[in-house]
Structure 1
Amino acid sequence: MTSNKIFTAWFTSESDGVDHAVTDEEFTEHRPEPEAVCGALVALGPLESSPGPRCPRCVAFLAARMTLRDLDRRFELYEHRRSEWWGRLLRRCRLLSTASEIL
């Protein structure tokens, strides 16, 4: 699986006083007002100010992003289990067919 990691930093927006997660790429490209992962425009304030409460939409986005990281592995396990299930079913059918031929 290719790595689609995103690197974020939390910045307090002066407009709403909430900390928003901003990707590194977004911060370097749109420095005066970068867009957070939740879609809000962040009016950057002084970086030495104390952090505010974290944006619930940014937190939810990053949590969802973290759970998608293992999605391919979960599908592989599911497919592996399904192939075992089919194998057991085919073996059982073969046993039944050979048993009926013997009788």
Structure 2
Amino acid sequence: MELDVFLKAYKEENWKDYLEFCRGANVDYKTQLGEITLPEDIAVVLCYRFGENEATKWLHKQVPALGNIQPKELLSNERGQNILRAVLMRLPD
């Protein structure tokens, strides 16, 4: 599956460093965006990258890089969450 590319690229240490960077920006974040409950680390990075409103929209958007899957569909298990973590670290500024 094409999402395995992201899973192979995911490194826990890199994610922790990126999360620490995002936390340093003191962004406001929520672990509940609409009907979606997020792991805290993903919520911090999403709100840093997009802001709360755009993060909510992005979670519902079909993302071509994810094979047109909505990011919210990947939140149900650790594998999917790690794919999201890898994708979030690769987003251009």
So what's the TM-score if we normalise by structure 1?
Answer: 0.27
Q: Whose helix fraction is larger, Structure 1's or Structure 2's?
A: 2
Q: Quick one: higher RCO (CA 8 Å, sep 6+), 1 or 2?
A: 2
Give the strand-richer structure, 1 or 2. Answer: 1
